[in-house]
Structure 1
Amino acid sequence: MKLTAEQIDQLYLFTRQHYVEYYDLQTELVDHLANAIETEWQQNPKLTFDEVLHKEFRKFGVFGFMDVVESRQTALGKKYNRIVWSHFKGFFTIPKIILTGFLILAVFYFLKEYYTKEIFTATMLFLISSMLTFLFFENRKMKKRKQETGKIWLFEKILSNYGTFPWLMILPIHFFNIIRIDRISNPSDLVLFCMSLFIVSMSLAIFIVLKIIPSKAEAYLKQNYPEYKLENL
């Protein structure tokens, strides 16, 4: 006997009622419960859906889904992190490395010609404010999607954590402290090159973390979870 669509929905509701927050984790549990229920029905076809469900739930022990959710969340987290870092490393192909070198040189010669403390400070403030603005709208979009669908995705949560990496915030502050930009009026070529390297590196990090990786992740979610694709039509 196969479960109906309505019974599958009941399983999703059951996992939410037992504090399974993320939809991708809910889906794994629902698949497990559905297979277990169908197997049990083959042996005891007279049992009702609720009877079999609660029988299977008791197998998880006194803590219910807590232990299995914790282990699966850790496993999925590692899997998603591997996906993220594979895309991060995949971005740095030979042509992009060469382009990055040209960008560093272009910024270096620009600073050498037009450098002022105000220009450098304004550039860093622009990068940081752009990142914060993007994160604000992404978080608002996630909250809106959760309100509309009742679903929140672990993969999206991990990506938002990448976007709020402490180094994205703290590194510019440390750089300012090391360079002491407020005391430099006529920087050497070495200092200008370090500034150029830092500006380009920060720009690339922000672009990859906030643009490239989320787009790859969205493609992954649409491929593996059809519900995600329907939500974003």
Structure 2
Amino acid sequence: MVDHLASEIEKKWAENPSLIFEETLSNVYAEFGLFGFQDMVQKAHRLMMGKYQKMWWNYFKQFWKLPKIIFSLVLFGFVWICFTTFGYKVVMYCNWVLMIIQGLYSTYYFLFRRFSKKKLQLLSTLSLGTEPPAIISILPITFFTFYASFTIPFGVMSAFISVVWLMTWAGYETDIYFLKEQHRLYPQAFA
């Protein structure tokens, strides 16, 4: 976008060298119209989201390789033991509450604690990538916690809950990676 603007400004200056920069910039910007940059912004956003999803997938796949697969199996076993020890409804209520707490914490952490309003402008591509797994999974968990008159076998539900938490963890790792990249690429914005 900057290159495109700069080349258009250079063209205008080549035609009329006496133009003032601010005036030329305004004229070039106005030539793009109200939605002139929207296509470029949408393309950049799609590329960034594709990169984010690929990075998230790479982090998620690490939970199925040594040494993290051990943690994945321990998490699955822990959830299974909780089901057999405390019962279906108790575990589902606890998981539902934990997901709500996780969503509130990540919102607080990324929006209010880590960044000022100035720094938030740079984070538009981040868009709390840790939330989609929790939001998507909270719907079936809410259904099976409050509305369903039947229960899914403990093993299936243990696997589902474990995978949801692993997805959330992969989202956090991806967010941290992108934050480090933003700090590396734009250190002056985080000063």
TM-score (normalised: structure 2): 0.72
Q: Is 2:25 aligned against 1:57? A: no
In the alignment, does 2:129 pair up with 1:168? Answer: no
Give 1:193 deviation, angstroms.
Answer: 2.1
Give the counterpart of 1:199 among 155, 161, 180. Answer: 161
Corresponding residue number in structure 1 for 2:44: 72
Q: CA deviation at 1:212?
A: 1.8
Cα contact 1:37–1:52 (8 A) shared by 2: yes
Structure-2 change in CA distance of 1:143 and 1:90 (3 Å): closer
Q: Within 5 Å, which residues of 2 pair with 1:48-127?
A: 48-61=20-33, 63-112=35-84, 114-117=85-88, 119-127=90-98
Matched residues in 1 for 2:120 and 2:87: separation? 50
In the TM superposition, residue 49 of structure 1 has moved relative to its aligned partner by 0.5
CA deviation string 1:152-176 (max 9, x = no partner): 532222xx25514541321313444
Q: Secondary structure at the match of 1:180?
A: coil
Partner of 1:217: 178
| SS at structure 2 position matched to 1:47 | coil
Contact 1:131/1:206 (<8 A) preserved: no
| Pair 1:155 & 2:125 matched | yes
Once the 2 structures are TM-superposed, how far is the Cα of residue 85 of structure 1 from its aligned partner?
3.2
Are residues 1:180 and 2:146 paired? no
Alignment partner, residue 184 of structure 1: none
Q: Which runs of 5+ in 2 are unaligned?
A: none
Question: Could you tell me how far apart the structure 1 residues matched to 2:149 and 2:17 are?
Answer: 74
What amino acid is the match of 1:163?
Answer: E
Residue 110 to residue 34, structure 1, CA distance change in 2 (3 Å):
same
**Percent of counterpart pairs with the same letter?**
23
Q: CA deviation at 1:103?
A: 2.9
Tell me the secondary structure at the aligned position of residue 85 of structure 1.
helix
Kept in 1: contact 2:12–2:24 (CA 8 A): yes
**CA distance, structure 1, for counterparts of residue 149 and residue 170 of structure 2:** 26
CA distance in 2, matches of 1:110, 1:143: 34
- Provide closer, same or farther for how the CA distance between residues 39 and 162 of structure 1 changes in structure 2, counting only shifts above 3 A: farther
Provide the alpha-carbon RMSD of the alignment. 3.5
Aligned length: 189
